[in-house]
Structure formats: structure tokens, C-alpha cells
Structure 1
């Protein structure tokens, strides 16, 4: 284990991840905020399009997640050669997968939007956004994979700097195409899409340069087609179930978005504004969970199971405390914050109620973010998926319909369903971690290690 790996702490890993995720969220909020000056309908169109794109990103995430876990475990076991092989294989796999999904979005975007029961008046703008951003979705697949590799090698600051650059470019592009200074044509949603795609392309180029500079001899490009197939198998073994939990979540959210679309464009817009603010509340928990995953991955690779157990519990306590404090702060500032996006009093009043409910929601979400990432880092990936599917669909979707549509509570009823889902899953995940059943899942050895152990 290198000196850098020995000196890893939750804080040194987490603060760059925090800023990186904050800026990713800021990029999405910049689109929403700037578009809100253009049209509330455009906000709703982009919001639904991003719901679809988030599902696609989860599909890319199964390779990125597998990469992060395997590379961290192999580095923890001081298997640097295998870590490099896994990194290269993951980039190749996600490139092919990304190209396939990008092509599908570019061709089938309108049928997909119609399945979401999007109002006819929003179809054209949403379609334009999906064609451009979705057509270049493979770029995001490579960005996610390169980022996962750099984080596992502890180069979290580099990912942060790249994200800063992408955000600056995106905001500049949004300003040019939405407000049209110096005679530049006002393109609205299409302009936001172009800005997003271009900033990601330049971000990927920067990521590749940094990756080659940081680990110049780790990626065996000349042996790409000769690398052991077991690397792909291991990526799928961890990545597919890990993505299954996120895929189930995003799928259930798409169904719930369909319910909200039934309530009308105003409800859709309120959801987008409220969730944009909520992202900043659970941002700390996301950063803590990702930093914890890296540390626990290294610990599991080094067979330090007891250290890994206590690391998760400590991270969970920190996450719960911070998320509670942030939810309370945002609830006091809900009205002026929502006023940044819109002057529609009905949207602001309903949005305030949703933000108040996050005081109950966010601690439950902390359990899921931290503990599920910890379980993934150990290789215990199937249990969270099974429980997630049962809770998300059996609790969240079901209660959303019953309270939101049937009982007529609207978005308030739907937010209550989110609370029930997060807390139920969170408690179940904590019990799983405390049982230490994940120790049996253990470290996935490299092919060389397997051969040595057989001898």
C-alpha cells in the first residue's frame, strides 16, 4: 500500500467529492434557473427529459460502480497491475455500451416521451433536448468511468477541478444561447442542450489527459484485447446488481413522474424546483457515502473487516447529523430560495411544504446512501437490490398513487411515500451491516491471486 493510500481519511477524500457533486448539481440547477427566466414550460420539458437521462446514466453507472469497487479493492491488496487492467477494460466496456444507448435515445426519443404522458405542448422541446444531450450520452459514460478510476486511486481533487471547468463552460454556454447577447440567436432548450453536450466533451478530453498523467503506466493499452475476460465478469458481478438498485429507483421515479404529470404542468414544475433544492440538502450525505466507499474498498482489499465496520457506522452518524441540520436550514429559507426560480405563488407555497417534509425524509436517505455504498464496497451487492425493489415499488410507488392520486393529496402525498420508502429501506440496510453477513462476500482476487491460491 502506498503512502498516499495509507494517509487516506474521510475528510481528504470527501471534500473534493463534495465540491464535485455540488458543481454537478449546480450545472443542472444552472439549466433550470436560466430556463426559468425563459419559460416555466421549458423547465418542465427539461425536467422530464432529465428524468429519462438519469435512467440512462444509471445504466452507465453499473460499469463505473464496479470499476470503483474493484480498483479500490485491488489497490488495497497492493495488486496494482490488476487495478490498471480493470480500469482499461471498464473504459472500453462503457464506451461500447454508451454508444448503443446514445443511438437509441437519438432515434426513439419521441416514443419514450409519449410513454411518459408528457403534455403535447412540451414534446418538441423535450425531444430536442434528448436528441442532443442523449445523443452524446456516451461522453458521460466515459466521464463517469474515468472519474471512478481517479477516485479509487485517491485523485479526487483532479475530478473536482475538471468538474469546475465543465460548470464554467456550461454556464457561459447557457447565458449565450438563452439571453442572446451580441446578436447570438436565442435557442432556449436547444441552446441549453448544446451547452451541456459541449462542456461534457471538453470535460472528457481533460479527464483523459489527467488520467494518462496520473497513472501513465497503469493502463495496458497494447494488451487490451488480450486481458483476462474475468475482469469483465467481475465488473458485471458487482456492477449489474449495484446498478439494479439505482435502476429500480429511477424506474419507480419515472412512474411517479407519470402520476405527477397527471396532476398538470404546474405540479411537474413544482417537483423540479423542490427536488433541485433538496439535492443540496443530501449533497453532504452523497459525498460522505462515496468517500466511505473508497476507504472501505481499500480496507476490504487489505482484509481489515473490523476497521471497515466501524468506518461505516461513524460515517453514518456524521451523515445523519449534517443532513438534519441542512434540512432545517433550507426549511427556514424555503420561500426565498424557491423565489429564485419562480414568482408563481402557488408553486412557492406547495414547494415550501415539500421542503418542510424533507426534515423527516433526509435522515432516512442518509441510511441508504452511506450503508448501501458500504455494502457495495465489500461486494455485498445483491441484498440492497432485492430490498430496494420491494420497498421502492411496494411502498413508494404504491403509496404515491394511493395518497397522491386516489386520496387527492397531490405532491404532499407523494412526498410522504418517499419518506416511508427511505426509512424502511434505511433501517433494513443498517441491520444488514450490523449482521456482518457482508464479510462472507469478501474480496474479489485477481486472476494471478486465484492461481497462486490454487497451488
Structure 2
């Protein structure tokens, strides 16, 4: 049918007339074969598209839930008192780095579990979970000690004296919750590795709903409770994090779907090999995520040199970009799970295919996000501020936000593919080169040496992200070629 359609359309154009003599004539078969070629190319990935979307949607929803709860916390505390909002902003900013590093550290479990899931080794998966709970628990204690040292020096951080009575109790509540965040992450990454991404999503959504309800009751003093302001938000957050860990622990012991892994968990022992592997993977992935976050943190300090207007605009656009990043990274996590499964089986053809399919999906999401950013560039800033000066800068920076969507999608795809194959050392080295040896100097030179201001600083982001993505992509295809050459 398609071929006959092209024949009818191009029949007249292919008649040999004197006027057309010597011109390049296009046969209907050329267009038909081109379309068939495209159809065959994308049909190869149909199975991978479906699997990645099925795995990725629950992860995306769970991550967006975290962002939404953070926004809800700020909105509720902000309506209670400005001083409470300022205290919460300071503490949350301080805890962003350990929480993000801890999340990246726990990601090291997923590819290890995924590879043994591909080999159908249930006993080893249970053993890995057992060792991961020990390793993540120790990391939680380590991060808690670091933040305790920070707490002991909190009065030296230059915060207004009137905020310290609010900062201290809220800080301590966040401090206690770190260990439960890390233990929950062990269960979540285990579950993602065996392709069960729905259970963590349901637990996180339930905990987020309870968190918001708890905020409303404790912050504003409902049901006869004295209004606690920011302290109430801290109590609600702590309780929700404890409940997330306990809920997953109970499910693991009671749910039939996990029983096959419970045997390996109970009968195995702590061992140096697994502890070393988890630490190697975890430190490298945590470092890679920390480097990217560190680039934005360091340049945020640099932008502060340009004044409050530039800094406010920077914070607004970074907040907007985080929504897109969380969605891309949810799909990236699904790519990592699929890649680890196929890599465990030694199926390099499908390692490449699932990575390519994941990149197609993230590119489509990046295109949709770019359209949204482009058409809302003059209005989206009103969600955060009414300052005309800030809004003007935001509308300019939105074009640069569009510019690094391609690089962001590229580096997320191939960083997660390399993580799925366990090649995390090169991933961390490439990220250091891309973000700190390339992007950061470009940000400084364009922003301050060339005196292009905040626009110049932001020019470094698309340069760094794109070059990092290209280096990660080259490393991915180098590794897969080398594996294919092995007998």
C-alpha cells in the first residue's frame, strides 16, 4: 500500500521529458525504502522503549514526590513565618550535599544487583542487600558525624543571631533522619535492581502524603497541638523517613515476592568482597553526582559576587531545571537497571540497544521540556518572584537552559549506562574533567574575565555538560567494543 502510494505521487515527476532531461530523478522506491529503513530502525527498540518506560515512570514519580514535598515544606513554613522559612532554607541547603552524596553512594547497589538478577542468582542478591545495609548504615553514621561537626560550628556560619534558636532544633531533627534515609536507600536500590520500581514508589508517595499532613498539623498547631513552625516540619520529616525504612523492612520480610531473596539475606554473612565492591561503586557514583551538584554550587557562589539580582535569578532557573533533571534521571536509572541485567548475561547487543532506546526517550522529554521553557520564559519566573529585574534576567537565562538540555540528556544516559556496567571509576574521572577542568574555567572566564556577567557564567554549563556527555558516550562504545572482542 505504501509503495503504491509513492508510485502515484511521483509517477508524473519521473516522466522523461526534454525539460527534465539530465535532472536527478527520484524513484518511488527510494522514498519507500527510506521510510521502511526508519521503521525497521525504531522497531528494533520497541521492546526496550516499553521496558524503560515501565521501569522509569515509578522512579520519576518517586523523585518528583521528593521535589513536591520540598516545595510544600517551604510554602507551609513560609506562610507560618518568614524567619522560620529562612531557618529551613539554611538547614536544607546544608543537608542537600550529604543527602545527594548518600543517594549517589547507595546507587552503587543497583548495577550489582541487576547483574546478578540477569544471572538469576537470588542467593547472591540477598547477600548483597545484607552487606549494603551494613555499608549504607556506616555511611549514614559517617555523614551524621560530619554534619554534627558542622552543627557544633553553626554560629560561625554568619547566620543572623535571631535565627539560631530556630536553626538548631530543625538541624538536629534532620541530623537524626540521615541514617534512616541511607537504610531506606539500600532497600530502594535493591528493589530497583530486580526491576521492582513500583514498591518504592508506593512507599515514597504514602510517606510524602503523611509528611504533608504532618506538616499541616504540627506547623500550624491543629488538633489541639501547639504551633511548632519549622520544628514541626522537622518532626514530620523525621517521622516520614523512619516510616519509609520500617515499611520497606516489613515488606521485605513479609511479602511473597521478596521471599526468594530472603533466604540469601538470612543465610549469608558479611564479607570483604561485597563490602569492597559496594564501597568502590558507591564512592565513585556519589562522587560523580557530587561533582555535578558541586559545579552548580561553586558557580552559585561566583554568581553571588554579581549581586542579589543575579543570584536570585540563578536560583529561580536552577529550581526550574531541577524538575527536568529529576525526570531525565528517573529514566536514566531505568537505563542503568536494564543495562546491568543484560551486561550480567553478557548480552552486549541489548546493552547497546537499551541505551540507545533510553537516549531516544530522554531526548523526547528534553524536547518537550525545551518547548515548555521556551514558551513560558516570560511567565514561569512569576511562580518564584515579582521582581521585574529578576524576571528579566530569568527570561534571558532560559535560552541558556535550553542550550544545555542536549548535553544534560547525553551525560545522564551514558553515565547511567556505564554505571550499569560497573565502569564507575572512568565515569567519575570524566565527570571531574568535564565539570571542573572544562566547565568551571569557562564559567569564570566568560563571566568575569570577559565580563559577560551571569550570562557568561551560564555559558559554561552547556559546554561542560555536552563535552562530558560526549566523553561518556565514547567511553561506553569503547567498553562495549572491547567486550565484544573477547572470545
Using the size of structure 2 for normalisation, the TM-score is 0.80
Counterpart position of 2:195: 154
- Among 171, 175, 180, the alignment partner of 1:130 is 171
Q: Shift of the alpha carbon at 1:31?
A: 2.4
1:316 pairs with 2:359 = yes
Alignment of 1:50-61 (within 5 A): 50-61=92-103
The answer as to whether partners of 1:40 and 1:269 remain within 8 angstroms in 2 is no
1: distance between equivalents of 2:338 and 2:190? Answer: 14
2: distance between equivalents of 1:66 and 1:11? Answer: 22
**Partner SS, residue 135 of structure 2:** helix
User: Judging changes above 3 Å, is the alpha-carbon distance between structure 1 residues 332 and 187 closer, same or farther for their aligned structure 2 residues?
Assistant: farther
Q: How many residues align?
A: 437
1:72 pairs with 2:114 = yes
The answer as to whether partners of 1:20 and 1:164 remain within 8 angstroms in 2 is yes
Q: Shift of the alpha carbon at 1:373?
A: 0.4
The answer as to whether partners of 1:150 and 1:211 remain within 8 angstroms in 2 is no
Alignment of 1:8-407 (within 5 A): 9-37=51-79, 46-47=88-89, 49-61=91-103, 63-109=105-151, 111=153, 128-181=169-222, 184-212=225-253, 213=255, 214-219=257-262, 220=264, 222-223=266-267, 226-263=269-306, 267-404=310-447
**Partner SS, residue 120 of structure 2:** coil
Rg (Cα) greater in structure: 2
User: Judging changes above 3 Å, is the alpha-carbon distance between structure 1 residues 41 and 273 closer, same or farther for their aligned structure 2 residues?
Assistant: farther
2: distance between equivalents of 1:238 and 1:362? Answer: 27
The answer as to whether partners of 2:91 and 2:171 remain within 8 angstroms in 1 is yes
**Partner SS, residue 436 of structure 1:** helix
The answer as to whether partners of 1:105 and 1:130 remain within 8 angstroms in 2 is no
2: distance between equivalents of 1:351 and 1:244? Answer: 30
The answer as to whether partners of 1:282 and 1:323 remain within 8 angstroms in 2 is no
The answer as to whether partners of 1:81 and 1:218 remain within 8 angstroms in 2 is yes
Q: Shift of the alpha carbon at 1:378?
A: 0.7
**CA offsets, 1:267-317, max 9 Å, x none?**
554444332222222333112111111111000111101110121112112
Q: Bigger shift: 422-431 or 36-45?
A: 36-45
In structure 2, list runs of 5 or more residues that go unmatched: 1-47
Q: Shift of the alpha carbon at 1:352?
A: 3.2
Q: Shift of the alpha carbon at 1:441?
A: 11
2: distance between equivalents of 1:119 and 1:352? Answer: 32
The answer as to whether partners of 1:400 and 1:413 remain within 8 angstroms in 2 is yes
**CA offsets, 1:123-159, max 9 Å, x none?**
6655554332133211111121111011112211111
The answer as to whether partners of 2:144 and 2:179 remain within 8 angstroms in 1 is yes
User: Judging changes above 3 Å, is the alpha-carbon distance between structure 1 residues 138 and 262 closer, same or farther for their aligned structure 2 residues?
Assistant: farther
**Partner SS, residue 215 of structure 1:** helix
2: distance between equivalents of 1:183 and 1:264? Answer: 45
**Partner SS, residue 139 of structure 1:** helix
Using the size of structure 1 for normalisation, the TM-score is 0.85
2: distance between equivalents of 1:75 and 1:358? Answer: 38
The answer as to whether partners of 1:319 and 1:366 remain within 8 angstroms in 2 is yes
1:424 pairs with 2:442 = no
The answer as to whether partners of 1:68 and 1:294 remain within 8 angstroms in 2 is yes
